[in-house]
Amino acid sequence: MDRREAISLGLAGAAVLATGAQAQSMGADGFLTGDSTEFVPLWPDTPPGGEGISLTLKFTDAVQPDGYHVRSVSQIQRPGFFVYRSARPNGLSLLVIPGGGYTSEGMDRGGREVAQRFAAGGITCFVLRYRLPGEGWKNRSDVPLQDAQRAMRLIRANAARYGINPAKLSAIGFSAGGHVAASLATRHGVPVYAAVDIADAQSARPVVAGLMYPVVTMGEGAHPSSRDMTLGPSPTPQAVDAYSVERHVSADTAPSFICLAADDTTVAPFPNGIALFVAMQAAKIPADLHVFEAGGHGFSIHWSQGKPCGAWPELFTAWAATHGFTA
């Protein structure tokens, strides 16, 4: 049985291969050493708009030439978040939102490795597993934001359990997950689902938003798969407008850190991350913009090592501290 087959058996089980021998040793259940096994479902029952939907979780694993596992997941019926606790928690916390063009979601890229990086610095991290908009849900376009808002609220409602300060919760998203995070930054207060319990009285506003090579626009220059999954075929101009984040910056938008590479050929810098920065400048929303010369799309942590763009986590935390995201 090769790794792919092993993984295709599914990760539904919660057992972890906790040998601690190697960061990249994978168990037969698809878990890697260091993976969180603390999974918190978002919704007590069927997620909003999920009546009649039955999906079987699907995993893939692309092993890099250097042996690094790059897993992704789709067919998400049961959204939630994985908790990455810090050995030395400082009260700060971060919702981490991976990308995947809204057709799948990275587990390692933009997910686990990001959570581990920031947890090492004392920040409790929650890696979001959100529903994908093209998998049959009603109100497909709002599905990722429903999950992201609910995650922010659940985390805040259970702050004591996680040992965090609910006033110090931020969010960071990558690629399509950057579209989710940017939507959270701009539309944290927009009602996209009916409250299900007392947790929904909490605010979903991040203290700051990290937007890593984000998908932003659904208009000209849009990332095709993210747009098609979000809006479906032949979207109306109104739908394009409603989900183009650069058109929804307001006085209540969260301060944002925008970071990407100039040579990103997947999500074009100018109509996406840079356009959002320009919109934030116009609305006087605090924003930090870093466009590295090289890095391509999806550099996350692993693909930025030893490169100038590898400076981004320090730039993010130094900037975030100026907005009160500091212990």
> What residues are paired with 125 via a beta bridge?
84, 94
324: contact with other proteins by CB under 8 A: no
Which of 286, 289, 313, 310 has its CA nearest to residue 114? 313
Cβ atoms within 10 Å, residue 34: 17
Binding string, 227-266, against other proteins, x = CB under 8 A?
----------------------------x------x----
Cα atoms in the Cβ-side hemisphere of radius 13 Å centred on 110: 30
322: contact with other proteins by CB under 8 A: yes
Q: How far is the CB of 293 from other proteins (least distance, A)?
A: 4
Q: Kindly state the tokens that stand for 33.
A: 């050493």
305: contact with other proteins by CB under 8 A: no
> What residues are paired with 257 via a beta bridge?
210, 288
Residue from 281, 305, 324, 327 binding other proteins (CB under 8 A): 281
315: contact with other proteins by CB under 8 A: yes
Residue from 10, 167, 201, 270 binding other proteins (CB under 8 A): 270
318: contact with other proteins by CB under 8 A: yes
Range in contact with other proteins (rule: CB under 8 A) among 33-41, 153-161, 210-218, 309-317: 309-317
Whole-angstrom CA distances from 193 to 103, 231, 260 are 22, 18, 31
Q: Which is nearer to other proteins, 142 or 288 (CB)?
A: 288
Q: How far is the CB of 258 from other proteins (least distance, A)?
A: 9
Residue from 140, 156, 187, 290 binding other proteins (CB under 8 A): 290
Residue from 43, 82, 118, 319 binding other proteins (CB under 8 A): 319
Q: Which is nearer to other proteins, 114 or 285 (CB)?
A: 285
Residue from 31, 84, 102, 292 binding other proteins (CB under 8 A): 292
Q: Which is nearer to other proteins, 59 or 257 (CB)?
A: 257
327: contact with other proteins by CB under 8 A: no
| Contact residues: other proteins, CB under 8 A | 255, 262, 269-270, 274, 277-278, 281, 286-294, 307-308, 311, 314-315, 318-319, 322
